[in-house]
Structure 1
Amino acid sequence: MGHDHCGLTLHPDKTKIVYCRDESRRGTHPVYKFDFLGYTFRPRLVSKKAGGMGVSFGPAASPTALKAIRGTIRSWSLHLRSDKALDDLARMFNSYIRGWINYYGRFCPSALQPTLWSIERYLARWASGKYKSLRRHKRRSRHWLLRIAQRQPRLFAHWPLLHGYGRTMGAG
């Protein structure tokens, strides 16, 4: 093989032949998905150009990458930063959020949405700690945050994806 003369060896657990199952390849194989560069490649439901749904082999953010992102979000301790204003939080964390959206949101952005909603939950928790009128009122703090998102749709990088406000056509 070509890699032997360089002194490279294949790792038996990491090197596998993967069956890329999709609509035209319907066979079965024990290995049908793989992870690479933070993405999981596997058969996924997609909408066809001609209409309807079909199965295609494609990437989306991997569960391990999403778990790492949620760990990073948790490490921010947003709910404990009641001394900061919402604008300050946006300035502090938007670069991270924008990077995740640009990298993992390129393919199958819906896989990233539950993780982005966790940021919303932490922000609502922050609001209930910051403002006395929102304490012990989860729904009220979520609605307060939604009103801010309607007024300033681009304050946080993930708001256009989650709420649909401030979206521009063809941006990507």
Structure 2
Amino acid sequence: MQNCATRSDRLLELILFSLRDRGALCALVLAAYRVELTSLLDRVSSGSIGDDDDDREVAPQARGDRAGGSPARARAEGRRTEARISEEDAFLIYDLAGCIAEAAGAARLPVVRRDALALREKAAEVHAGGERAERDMFAAGLRVIDRILDAARAQPSPRSEPASKDLN
């Protein structure tokens, strides 16, 4: 019977440890999401995704067709340019923004949660809104990254506990 009590005490210690350091655990999860979001936005903005879309814009110009051309020319002529982000990438950003919003809710960070939900909304609008919506989504993504960094800076530094209190 004593062995059972020892195990349940360790389980209780683990639960109490998790509850006590909930903010630190949530900050760790948010930091991982921040890195993932940064990487995803960088990859998408660099044009490594959607290279086929660039071919679509250049080919008509090479034929002398005025319907094609660069996005700058399309803006100058008053035409709406389509977003270069693939639907799959927009969905990845949408999904990641939802995960960030959930983690921020668990960490009780309403500003981060609000901005993550705004990013999710912007990602959903990318294909309907064209290049303007794409820029808005990138701006919202950068705002989420900044908010996560601000929240991490605002947290108190982790306290060091004696090695005897570590959970093995």
Structure-1-length-normalised TM-score? 0.33
Greater radius of gyration (CA): 2
**Highest RCO, 1 vs 2 (Cα 8 Å, sep ≥ 6):** 2
Question: Which structure has greater strand proportion?
Answer: 1
